């Protein structure tokens, strides 16, 4: 039996397997990808990625090429990366394959192989080794790098600028890996609580949340946590009181500032879409007057200190057509002390990275959402 070449679908089989791998050259793999595109299993742009990579790295092996194509396909499905281990466990669900695996009566129109066929007998370590053999295309990062303290997006002078990044068993297009790293670093930098005097906050909280019930008031707890941190996440399903919590949080922010003799805080409200922004504004204005009434005498200027507009995230940070960078970014932070983002689950990784990069390190960020809300249309529901 001849030994497979470096371009063949030959993996390092670290463990015994009931099925032998299918040996294919990279050129033969391109033919299979064409069949997947024709069958509607994969986008033509994913096939184009394979051709582009092969033109620039003729020696890339078929295993590595397949992984890169699947990572591109995953981005088209809203995922920032390919989970290689999950792919090996359940390759059947990876592509848009009809029930019955798409093999009907028209044999000529149906691909010869599915991803599960091509990945028979493959191990994770073997697949990773195939990717690591092409450093000009895939940058390998330690699996712990995402937990590091710095953004690791820029290559060192010794490195090229490969379009893919492998971090452990996850394979990213580089842009999404960089954006994810930026989000992690930005959120981590905001996790240290601010040192605020407890007594004045407690008095205001008790006034905002009067209760004689011994059970915990989670809206009150959410406000107490959010006022002391530069990053907070408030989540709950419909009817759980997220809007009421937000309005009372805004009151708490401004009442604390006014009571201390400070200027009102600069508050900005936003949402991922125009409809979401309009809904948030309607909900807030619908509750504002009733919640303000008990404090009119003590804080006559409180209403003027509260926001009366809600913007889209794009408008807030100044995203412009045909411009790479928004108006507000690290070099020109958004002039805001508090930013509240509603329906955060609908924000993709790219927009979230830009939003976080636009904020000054002292700005308080509050994300609102529901885990069962719609996910982002773009890759990476955050």
Query: What is the Cβ-side half-sphere exposure of residue 353, based on CA atoms within 13 angstroms?
Result: 22
| CA distance to 246, 257, 269, per residue, from 266 (Å) | 15, 11, 10
Do 320 and 344 lie in a common domain? Answer: yes
Q: What is the pLDDT of residue 19?
A: 54
Alpha helix (H) ranges present in the chain?
A: 26-38, 44-56, 62-76, 84-89, 115-118, 124-132, 174-188, 198-208, 218-227, 242-259, 274-292, 313-317, 349-358
Give the domain-ending residue among 164, 188, 212: 188
CATH label of the domain that carries residue 57:
1.10.10.1020
Do 94 and 152 lie in a common domain? Answer: yes
The band of 38, judged by pLDDT with boundaries at 50, 70 and 90, is: very high
Average pLDDT over residues 375-381: 67
Do 208 and 323 lie in a common domain? Answer: yes
Do 228 and 365 lie in a common domain? Answer: yes
Residue 335 lies in domain: 198-369
Q: What is the pLDDT of residue 147?
A: 46
Residue 95 located in a structural domain: yes
Q: What is the pLDDT of residue 187?
A: 94
Average pLDDT over residues 137-159: 56
Residue 381 located in a structural domain: no
Give the domain-ending residue among 188, 209, 229: 188
Question: Are the C-beta atoms of 226 and 364 separated by less than 8 Å?
Answer: yes
Q: What is the pLDDT of residue 327?
A: 96
Q: What is the pLDDT of residues 239-283, one digit of tens each?
A: 788 889 999 999 999 999 999 899 999 999 999 999 999 999 999
Give the domain-ending residue among 153, 188, 223: 188
173 forms beta bridges with 164
Q: What is the pLDDT of residue 197?
A: 63
The band of 52, judged by pLDDT with boundaries at 50, 70 and 90, is: very high
Residue 18 located in a structural domain: no
Average pLDDT over residues 176-198: 86
Do 227 and 357 lie in a common domain? Answer: yes
The band of 54, judged by pLDDT with boundaries at 50, 70 and 90, is: very high
Q: What is the pLDDT of residue 15?
A: 38
Q: SS3 for 156?
A: coil
Residue 13 located in a structural domain: no
CATH label of the domain that carries residue 313:
3.40.50.300
Cα–chain-centroid distance for residue 135? Answer: 26
Residue 6 located in a structural domain: no
Do 88 and 224 lie in a common domain? Answer: no
What's the pTM? 0.84
Residue 214 located in a structural domain: yes
Residue 105 located in a structural domain: yes
Do 150 and 246 lie in a common domain? Answer: no
Do 204 and 297 lie in a common domain? Answer: yes
Do 247 and 181 lie in a common domain? Answer: no
Residue 4 located in a structural domain: no
Do 229 and 176 lie in a common domain? Answer: no
Between 63 and 341, where is the model more confident?
Answer: 341
Do 146 and 272 lie in a common domain? Answer: no
Say how many domains are in the chain: 2
Do 163 and 212 lie in a common domain? Answer: no
Residue 155, pLDDT > 50, answer no
- Pick from 315, 314, 305: which is nearest to 337 by CA? 305
Residue 320, pLDDT > 50, answer yes
Range with lowest mean pLDDT among 67-81, 144-158, 204-218, 352-366: 144-158
What proportion of the chain, given as a percentage, has pLDDT over 70? 83
């Amino acid at each position: 039996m001849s030994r497979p070449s470096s371009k063949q679908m030959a993996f390092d089989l670290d463990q015994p397997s009931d099925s032998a791998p299918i040996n294919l050259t990279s050129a033969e793999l391109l033919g299979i990808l064409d069949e997947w595109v024709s069958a509607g299993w994969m986008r033509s742009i994913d096939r184009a990625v394979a051709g582009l990579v092969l033109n620039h790295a003729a020696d890339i092996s078929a295993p590595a090429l397949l992984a890169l194509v699947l990572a591109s396909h995953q981005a088209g499905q809203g995922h920032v990366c390919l989970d290689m281990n999950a792919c090996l466990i359940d390759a059947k669900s990876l592509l848009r394959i009809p029930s019955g695996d798409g093999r009907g009566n028209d044999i000529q129109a149906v691909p010869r192989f599915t991803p599960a066929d091509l990945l028979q007998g493959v191990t994770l370590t073997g697949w990773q080794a195939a990717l690591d053999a092409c450093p000009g295309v895939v940058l390998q990062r330690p699996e712990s790098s995402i937990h590091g303290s710095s953004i690791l997006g820029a290559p060192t002078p010794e490195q090229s600028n490969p379009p893919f990044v492998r971090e452990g068993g996850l394979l990213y297009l580089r842009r999404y890996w960089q954006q994810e790293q930026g989000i992690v670093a930005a959120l981590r930098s905001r996790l240290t609580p601010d040192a605020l005097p407890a007594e004045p906050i407690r008095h205001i909280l008790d006034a905002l949340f009067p209760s004689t019930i011994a059970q915990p008031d989670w809206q009150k707890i959410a406000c107490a946590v959010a006022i002391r941190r530069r990053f907070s996440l408030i989540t709950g399903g419909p009817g759980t009181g997220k809007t009421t919590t937000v309005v009372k949080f805004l009151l708490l922010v401004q009442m604390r500032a006014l009571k201390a003799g400070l200027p009102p805080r600069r508050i900005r409200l936003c949402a991922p879409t125009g409809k979401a922004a309009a809904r948030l504004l309607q909900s807030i204005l619908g509750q504002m007057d009733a919640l303000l009434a008990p404090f009119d005498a003590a804080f006559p200027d409180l209403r003027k200190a509260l926001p009366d507009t809600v913007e889209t995230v794009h408008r807030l940070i100044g995203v412009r057509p045909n411009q790479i960078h928004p108006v507000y970014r690290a070099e020109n932070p958004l002039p805001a002390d508090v930013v509240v983002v509603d329906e955060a689950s609908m924000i993709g990784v790219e927009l979230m990275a830009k939003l976080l990069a636009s904020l000054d390190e002292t700005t308080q960020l509050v994300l609102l959402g529901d885990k069962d809300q719609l996910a982002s249309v773009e890759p990476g529901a955050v």
